[in-house]
Structure 1
């Protein structure tokens, strides 16, 4: 087999890979960024300010399961420069668009032991996957 026959298919495969647009991750930090439009396999990262020392936590009420797949549990982080016990931080969730359609992602900020009390805040976002 000649070298040209080996190089040509490899070159075409490399060019095809370069021509495809990589799916970027969408980062949501505010409900004002909604609604969100995603492609299948695209990821969405939701980052909301939180302070668990107050007793309030963001709870997932509707994970948009009809179109989204959770990529793990909530991850809490706090700013290193704060250096203060009880300082506010950030909760992060990651989801992947799994199937075309429409879904709804909703989280509420409330004390987990008092579900009968209305949430202090709600994050509500319509998701469309194409």
Structure 2
């Protein structure tokens, strides 16, 4: 009977350890692009925050999402600072990703007016992503 009890306890401990998922996240802002290339671990989340003002017609467009190593956790979320309250004030666009497998990819965004063809983007964000 003690062997059965020990096996049960060890089995539950193993299941508990397997059920825990890495919940650490890394927040990255446009001005931190110098930290690239960026190394993440499988299961780690990346939160990308970019200054944005869609009322001017400019938007951040994801050109390359490093889909071979990152999975999007939802669409872009735009928010205004709480204290602004002014129509046309700038805010922040946020994307959430999770590192899904080891490898390398490129996270590349451009800040532009989508209807302006042949115009150089006002800003770029380009970061190599390495997942271990």
TM-score (norm 2): 0.83
Which residue of 45, 49, 57 corresponds with 1:55? 57
Higher mean alpha-carbon deviation, 65-74 vs 119-128, is at: 65-74
Rounded Cα–Cα distance in structure 1 between residues aligned with 2:116 and 2:125: 18
Aligned match of 2:37: 35
Alignment of 1:75-86 (within 5 A): 75-86=77-88
Which residue of 103, 106, 119 corresponds with 1:104? 106
Aligned match of 1:118: 120
Rounded Cα–Cα distance in structure 1 between residues aligned with 2:21 and 2:100: 18
Count of paired positions: 126
Rounded Cα–Cα distance in structure 1 between residues aligned with 2:117 and 2:98: 28
Aligned match of 1:127: 129
Q: Say whether the 8 Å CA contact 2:22–2:44 is kept in structure 1.
A: no
**Unpaired runs of at least 5, structure 1:** none
Rounded Cα–Cα distance in structure 1 between residues aligned with 2:129 and 2:21: 21
Higher mean alpha-carbon deviation, 30-39 vs 100-109, is at: 30-39
Shift of 1:22: 3.8
Aligned match of 1:25: 25
SS of the residue corresponding to residue 107 of structure 1 reads strand
Which residue of 84, 87, 95 corresponds with 1:93? 95
Displaced runs of 4 or more, over 3 A: 20-23
Rounded Cα–Cα distance in structure 1 between residues aligned with 2:23 and 2:93: 23
Distance 1:41 1:115, change over 3 A: farther
